[in-house]
């Protein structure tokens, strides 16, 4: 196994002169420092020193432009006479400064005959680098000692960041000094790196794209006596840290080059959008949504029911969220009662027993809703309930929406009950001009003194506000509007862990979630720890997708539950049949059994189902059953019955070739998610496609930070750029009731009254709103080292350029639209602010996009991307 220099695992940090610290490196057998080395102390963080303010002059002593473009010699244009020889097959590629650059892969370099830089004195070394990948240690410029290099201008494998590294003396035992970049490099971007050793200030500084990254204290200068090498380092007496990529315009100076001159070398940076080339076609499914019952996303969320525990199953011991109403001398009790079943699916009812009820008194039942029942001005609420009376309990009943202090916002009358179950409906209309409030309850009561000593039973008490598209048993308007505004192209339903459940008795068994709501038994949402009444069932999930204009992406239960239980192969056939039936319910003709049921449920037309996912995150099934028989059994059966459907696997399988693989990405570190932007650059274009069914930076709660959103946006630029292999992405989880946070970081937050989008919501919306027909390849050069970009074009003359600046300073960049002759104007949309900022119920738009018009221009213009920002330029181009 390859040994690593300076690995933090076996770091010896040395503290010198009270302030100096330095990281040592790993070695197979760490040896004690030589007597000349400082005394080891406990590891400490590197000390950041002040950058030199009074630079000395610097003299160019080596300059390799790599503009030869052929042959095996790179001339030294400084006049100092140190040509480099290309070795091991090192070749040429397109340059960033001048026409060509050095192209290297492992075992290839370009090296001088002897030393160029006196590393014991002040020196500066700079290079433009464009990495093919960001894996491992890669040293761009170094100068050999006898055992190690005198310096390394490099990418570090241990941190994934650029560094200017020195060892204190020419030995693998020496401790190291590492000036590290704050930026995390990505492949395919040109960066200008500059390392400065200032012998008089005893400092080492690293610059990326002209911006100082870190200055540390340095010491014990020594002189490397071997050749200067481009494309590798030197360690333990051998070449190492080979580069894969391009290196251009390498410069060596005697002396510390002033920061201003380093900045001049970097220039302003640029983004070239190659509209003269056609990239991958973008997919209608490119940005999507994913919903499961988590965080009270459905019940107490997008499912608009306002009565909590209407089926009385949230607790088997008490009528949770219900209370007895006993006003003005009345006495009453409530209890769960299974002696008066409505039907076998809903056998439990709420029994109201009235003890006493004097004239002017009131006895009844009240429901507290999901952390309150909302009352908004000028709103009509639809009440329905099943009730039956015991002897003496006649009614009529009064239904009222009232505040906790008894203020009645709306009221309706329910006629006298009978001794048989019957359904009663009424509307409650609030007047205009009342305040919008949440601290309310629904009361069903009687003031009929004859009810004293009598009982009544209630179940499936339901109160709906106006719903999205006015659909009965429908969905909450503000949440649906927010989801619809994302213009999701696909809608993955119904989970997630919720699909799987913890046990075989609690997975999402779709057949129990369709038909009249009184016939739905509900089930324990064991994945997220609360009861699911399944009013939001398969039909409602499918309709939700349709209502926002998305293709449903239907995930079917695949015989694995979160507790690790796996349905044996011999018992899996019924589950496969359930999946086939489920698909038939979604798309079968009305002459089929389940298609007819869909029609009976009110939706005769088939849904636009094209993708079916087998299970969820089956990489957690360590038994191997997914590859061995579960995926093949579902795949074969579905393909046989519905050859037009694309089948999605939730992890890699070899037993069949899935059409698509669903990959999930979560990290609390935005750098990690941003760093995943290039994961699909080298994925085979002839194998399965990929969908990122879940992604999120889990930073902030109940919704995330701007920094998280920018990390995600950077990631999404990569997924969009690789649209030929990545068909879509959806954030997870989509919804969170702020009173019921099962998962830390979510996209849209709400209580019973209001909702808000997180910065991540706006980021996905901005990217989703700017999807053209084709990707236009783009190239970033410099800038501030923190830029991510993707561009696309739309027929009719629209160019979308999406740029993420994750840096803490603005990036002023030359934008060049190659192949375009003019920009007649456009819109810029910017999401920017404090990286730690979040939105909330109280501050719903603290972080939200701003738009402004962009004037006409030529195809090249200078644009400033603000610090910590996501920008979409939507330009009319010709």
Q: Exactly one of 402, 543, 617, 720 is catalytic; which is it?
A: 617
Smallest separation, CB 674 to ligand AHR (Å) = 20
Contacts of 487 (CB under 8 A, 6+ apart): 287, 548, 549, 768, 769
By C-beta, is 601 or 694 nearer to ligand AHR?
A: 694
298 scored as a contact of ligand AHR (CB under 6 A): no
Quote the tokens at residue 235. 């360690």
Quote the tokens at residue 786. 């923190």
Binding piece for ligand AHR, criterion CB under 6 A, among 489-497, 508-516, 578-586, 861-869: 489-497
By C-beta, is 282 or 294 nearer to ligand AHR?
A: 294
Q: Which three-class secondary structure state does DSSP give residue 788?
A: strand
By C-beta, is 275 or 292 nearer to ligand AHR?
A: 292
Smallest separation, CB 512 to ligand AHR (Å) = 20
Residue nearest ligand AHR, CB atom distance: 496
Phi and psi, residue 709, nearest 5°: -60, -35
Binding piece for ligand AHR, criterion CB under 6 A, among 90-98, 136-144, 238-246, 490-498: 490-498
Q: Which residues of 322-361 are buried (b: 16+ CB within 10 A; e: fewer)?
A: bebbbbeebebebebbeebebeebbbbbbbbbbeebeeeb
By C-beta, is 283 or 497 nearer to ligand AHR?
A: 497
How deeply is 622 buried, as exposed, middle or buried, from its count of CB atoms within 10 A (0-12, 13-18, 19+)? exposed
Binding piece for ligand AHR, criterion CB under 6 A, among 389-397, 407-415, 491-499, 621-629: 491-499
User: Within 739-778, which residues bind ligand AHR (CB under 6 A)?
Assistant: 743
By C-beta, is 252 or 736 nearer to ligand AHR?
A: 736
By C-beta, is 494 or 595 nearer to ligand AHR?
A: 494
Pairing of strands 190-198, 123-131: antiparallel
User: Within 692-731, which residues bind ligand AHR (CB under 6 A)?
Assistant: 694
Phi and psi, residue 579, nearest 5°: -65, -40
The Cα–Cα gap between 786 and 862 comes to 17
The Cα–Cα gap between 565 and 561 comes to 5
By C-beta, is 745 or 877 nearer to ligand AHR?
A: 745
Smallest separation, CB 742 to ligand AHR (Å) = 8
DSSP string, 108-138: -EEE-SS--S-TTS-EEEEEEEEES---S-E
Q: Which residues of 188-207 are buried (b: 16+ CB within 10 A; e: fewer)?
A: bbbbbbbbbbbbebbbbbbb
DSSP string, 378-402: T-EEEEEEEEEE-TT----EEEEEE
User: Within 656-675, which residues bind ligand AHR (CB under 6 A)?
Assistant: 664
The Cα–Cα gap between 289 and 85 comes to 54
Smallest separation, CB 650 to ligand AHR (Å) = 9
Residue from 221, 364, 588, 733 binding ligand AHR (CB under 6 A) = 733
Span between the terminal Cα atoms of the chain, in Å: 55
Phi and psi, residue 496, nearest 5°: 80, 180
Smallest separation, CB 498 to ligand AHR (Å) = 6
The Cα–Cα gap between 74 and 109 comes to 11
Binding piece for ligand AHR, criterion CB under 6 A, among 17-25, 405-413, 495-503, 529-537: 495-503
Smallest separation, CB 620 to ligand AHR (Å) = 8
By C-beta, is 297 or 828 nearer to ligand AHR?
A: 297
Residue from 495, 670, 704, 711 binding ligand AHR (CB under 6 A) = 495
Distance of alpha carbon 798 from the chain centroid: 27
Smallest separation, CB 720 to ligand AHR (Å) = 22
The dihedral sign for the CA sequence 757, 758, 759, 762: negative
Binding piece for ligand AHR, criterion CB under 6 A, among 86-94, 494-502, 571-579, 747-755: 494-502
Asked about 314 being catalytic, the answer comes back as no
Q: Which three-class secondary structure state does DSSP give residue 422?
A: strand
By C-beta, is 666 or 863 nearer to ligand AHR?
A: 666
The Cα–Cα gap between 878 and 866 comes to 27
| Cβ atoms 343, 421 nearer than 8 A | no
Task: Give me the residue label for tokens 């702020």.
Answer: 738
Largest CA distance in the chain: 112
Which of 124, 114, 127 minimizes the C-alpha distance to 82?
Answer: 114
Phi and psi, residue 631, nearest 5°: -60, -45
Binding piece for ligand AHR, criterion CB under 6 A, among 160-168, 217-225, 493-501, 823-831: 493-501
Smallest separation, CB 294 to ligand AHR (Å) = 6
Smallest separation, CB 754 to ligand AHR (Å) = 23
The dihedral sign for the CA sequence 490, 752, 668, 872: positive
User: Within 608-647, which residues bind ligand AHR (CB under 6 A)?
Assistant: 616-617
Smallest separation, CB 734 to ligand AHR (Å) = 9
Which of 245, 184, 193 minimizes the C-alpha distance to 675?
Answer: 184
Residue from 462, 467, 497, 758 binding ligand AHR (CB under 6 A) = 497
292 scored as a contact of ligand AHR (CB under 6 A): yes
By C-beta, is 307 or 734 nearer to ligand AHR?
A: 734
- Taken as a whole, the chain contains a residue count of 878
By C-beta, is 403 or 497 nearer to ligand AHR?
A: 497
732 scored as a contact of ligand AHR (CB under 6 A): yes
How deeply is 512 buried, as exposed, middle or buried, from its count of CB atoms within 10 A (0-12, 13-18, 19+)? middle
Quote the tokens at residue 586. 């979604």
Quote the tokens at residue 271. 């983004």
By C-beta, is 531 or 743 nearer to ligand AHR?
A: 743
Count of residues interacting with ligand AHR (CB under 6 A):
12
The Cα–Cα gap between 209 and 130 comes to 12
Smallest separation, CB 317 to ligand AHR (Å) = 29
Which of 504, 363, 520 minimizes the C-alpha distance to 443?
Answer: 363
Active site residues: 617
Using CB under 6 A, list all residues that contact ligand AHR.
292, 294, 495-497, 616-617, 664, 694, 732-733, 743
């Amino acid at each position: 196994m390859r040994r690593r220099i300076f690995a933090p695992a076996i770091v010896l940090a040395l503290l010198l002169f009270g302030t100096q610290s330095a990281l040592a490196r790993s070695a197979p057998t760490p040896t004690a420092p030589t007597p000349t080395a400082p005394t080891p102390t406990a590891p400490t963080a590197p000390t950041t020193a002040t950058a030199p303010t009074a630079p000395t002059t610097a003299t160019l002593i080596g300059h390799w432009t790599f503009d030869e473009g052929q042959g095996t010699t790179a001339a030294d244009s400084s006049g100092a006479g140190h040509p480099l020889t290309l070795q091991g097959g090192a070749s040429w590629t397109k340059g960033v400064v001048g026409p060509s650059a050095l192209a290297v892969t492992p075992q290839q370099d370009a090296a001088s005959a002897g030393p160029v830089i006196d590393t014991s004195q002040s020196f500066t070394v700079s290079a433009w680098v464009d990495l093919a990948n960001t894996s491992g240690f890669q040293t761009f410029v170094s100068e050999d000692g006898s055992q190690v290099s005198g310096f390394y201008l490099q990418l570090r494998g241990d941190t994934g960041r650029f560094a200017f590294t020195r060892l204190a003396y020419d030995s693998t035992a020496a401790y190291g000094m590492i000036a590290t970049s704050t930026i995390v490099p990505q492949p395919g971007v040109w960066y200008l790196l500059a390392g400065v050793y200032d012998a008089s200030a005893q400092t080492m500084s690293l610059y990326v794209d002209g911006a100082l990254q870190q200055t540390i204290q340095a010491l014990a200068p020594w002189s490397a006596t071997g050749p200067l090498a481009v494309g590798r380092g030197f360690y333990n007496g051998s070449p190492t840290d080979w580069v894969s990529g391009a290196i251009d315009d390498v410069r060596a100076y005697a002396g510390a080059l002033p920061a201003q001159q380093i900045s001049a070398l970097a220039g302003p940076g640029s983004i070239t959008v190659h509209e003269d080339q056609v990239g991958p076609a973008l997919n209608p499914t490119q940005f999507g949504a994913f919903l499961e019952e988590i965080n009270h996303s459905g019940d107490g969320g997008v499912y608009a029911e306002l009565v909590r525990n209407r089926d009385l199953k949230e607790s088997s011991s008490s009528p949770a969220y219900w209370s007895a109403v006993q006003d003005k001398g009345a006495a009453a009790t409530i209890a769960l009662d299974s002696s008066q079943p409505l039907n076998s699916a809903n056998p439990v009812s709420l029994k109201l027993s009235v003890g006493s009820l004097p004239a002017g008194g009131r006895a009844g039942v009240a429901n507290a809703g999901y952390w309150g029942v909302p009352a908004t001005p000028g709103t009509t609420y639809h009440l329905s309930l099943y009730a039956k009376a015991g002897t003496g309990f006649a009614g009529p009943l009064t239904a009222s929406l009232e505040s906790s202090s008894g203020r009645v916002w709306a009221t309706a009358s329910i006629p006298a009950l009978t001794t048989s179950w019957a359904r009663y409906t009424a509307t409650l209309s609030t007047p205009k001009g009342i305040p919008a409030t949440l601290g309310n309850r629904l009361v069903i009561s009687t003031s009929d003194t004859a009810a004293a000593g009598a009982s009544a039973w209630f179940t499936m008490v339901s109160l709906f506000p106006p719903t999205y598209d006015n659909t009965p048993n429908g969905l909450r308007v503000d949440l649906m509007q927010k989801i619809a505004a994302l213009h999701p192209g696909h809608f993955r339903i119904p989970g997630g862990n919720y699909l799987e459940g913890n046990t075989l008795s609690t997975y999402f068994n779709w057949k129990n979630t369709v038909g009249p709501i009184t016939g739905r038994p509900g089930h324990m949402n064991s994945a997220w720890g609360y009861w699911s009444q399944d009013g939001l069932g398969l039909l409602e999930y499918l309709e939700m997708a349709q209502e926002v204009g998305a293709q449903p992406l239907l995930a079917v239960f695949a015989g694995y539950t979160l507790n690790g239980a796996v349905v044996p192969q011999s018992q899996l056939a019924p589950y496969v049949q359930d999946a086939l039936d489920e698909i038939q319910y979604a798309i079968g003709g009305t002459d089929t059994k389940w298609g007819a049921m869909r029609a009976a449920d009110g939706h005769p037309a088939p849904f636009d189902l094209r993708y079916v996912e087998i299970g969820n995150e089956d990489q957690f099934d360590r038994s191997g059953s997914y590859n061995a028989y579960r995926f093949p059994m579902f795949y074969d059966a579905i393909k046989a019955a519905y050859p037009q459907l694309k089948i999605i696997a939730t992890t890699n399988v070899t037993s069949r070739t899935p059409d698509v693989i669903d990959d999930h990405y979560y990290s609390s570190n935005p750098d990690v998610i941003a760093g995943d932007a290039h994961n699909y650059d080298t994925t085979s274009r002839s194998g399965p496609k990929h969908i990122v069914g879940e992604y999120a930076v889990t930073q902030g709660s109940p919704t995330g930070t701007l920094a998280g959103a920018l990390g995600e946006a950077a990631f999404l630029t990569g997924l969009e750029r690789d649209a030929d292999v990545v068909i879509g992405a959806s954030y997870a989880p989509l919804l969170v009731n702020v009173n019921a946070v099962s998962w830390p970081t979510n996209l849209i937050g709400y209580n019973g009254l209001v909702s808000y989008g997180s910065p991540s919501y706006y980021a996905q919306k901005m990217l989703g709103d700017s999807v053209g027909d084709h990707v236009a390849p783009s190239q970033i050069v410099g800038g501030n080292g923190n830029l991510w970009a993707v561009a696309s074009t739309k027929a009719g003359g629209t160019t979308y350029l999406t740029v993420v600046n994750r840096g803490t300073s603005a990036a002023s960049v030359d934008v060049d639209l190659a192949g375009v002759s003019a920009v007649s104007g456009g819109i810029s949309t910017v999401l920017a602010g404090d990286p730690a900022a979040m939105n909330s119920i109280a501050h719903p738009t603290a972080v939200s996009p701003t738009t402004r018009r962009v004037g006409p221009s030529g195809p090249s213009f200078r644009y400033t991307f603000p610090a910590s920002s996501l920008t979409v330029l939507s330009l009319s181009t010709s």
